[in-house]
Amino acid sequence: MGITAIDWPLTTFLMKRITFLALASTVLGLSYLTLALYKKTPHQVGKQPLILTSAAINQALPPANLVNIFGTRLDDQRLRHGKVVLVFTLTSCKPCDQENEFLSTVISNRKDVSFFYVIPMGVKADVLREAQEKYALETFFDEGSMLAKELEVYQVPLKVFLQDGVIKKTWVEATVTAQRQSDFKAWLSNL
């Protein structure tokens, strides 16, 4: 007994449906696998990443591998002693440019606080050259995006305040509105 003319459209429909479901399952499975492998970078295996939320406050800054345009690594001790503000930025980001303009006006009178720009991605030589032309602050490239991955930096600009290597405050948005600028100035003057 074979397939009759009446059964043929139903069989074709079911075969198409099964093929579609198999393809969709394969795509979802590969996507999941890709994301799982991305999350398991060597520096994160065996521990939870530090997320820049209130849970990150009072946590030690993870090890950093930051290098400047001359190839010199930022001494980790400079991040672990005193007051430091890391500003994660990109040279192609308009809010980052506005952040730079604002910061350059307010930090000049605070010599007791070290401010560093950190560029988490891009072609190192190109972005550091652009940053040198645009930014007044010392700028470093996060090699391998290790610090950005560890802190889960997914947007810029983002500021992190450290006191003796411990995260004390974070700002996850650009300081571009009058209210945010006023709040940051008040925080800096009371620091």
Co-location of 10 and 99 in the same domain: no
Co-location of 20 and 77 in the same domain: no
Lowest mean pLDDT among 11-25, 74-88, 128-142, 159-173: 11-25
33 band by pLDDT with thresholds 50, 70 and 90 = very low
> What per-residue confidence (pLDDT) applies to 164?
95
Co-location of 12 and 91 in the same domain: no
Co-location of 106 and 32 in the same domain: no
CATH code, 98: 3.40.30.10
Mean pLDDT value of segment 111-125: 90
Domain of 99, in residue numbers: 54-190
Spatial distance between the Cα atoms of 138 and 42, rounded to a whole number of angstroms: 28
In a domain, 46, yes or no: no
In a domain, 67, yes or no: yes
In a domain, 71, yes or no: yes
- Enumerate residues 6+ apart whose C-beta is below 8 A from 69: 125, 128, 129, 131, 132, 139
Co-location of 28 and 111 in the same domain: no
Count of structural domains within the chain = 2
Co-location of 24 and 116 in the same domain: no
Instruction: For 42-85, write each residue's pLDDT tens digit.
Output: 333 333 344 455 567 888 999 899 999 999 999 989 999 999 99
Which two tokens mark 42?
Answer: 């060597």
Spatial distance between the Cα atoms of 114 and 169, rounded to a whole number of angstroms: 15
In a domain, 171, yes or no: yes
Nearest-Å Rg of the Cα atoms of the chain is 24
Report the percent of the chain where pLDDT is more than 70. 74
137 band by pLDDT with thresholds 50, 70 and 90 = confident
Task: Tell me the whole-structure pTM to 2 decimals.
Answer: 0.71
CB neighbourhood size of 72 (10 A): 10
Mean pLDDT value of segment 163-188: 90
Co-location of 121 and 165 in the same domain: yes
CB neighbourhood size of 49 (10 A): 15
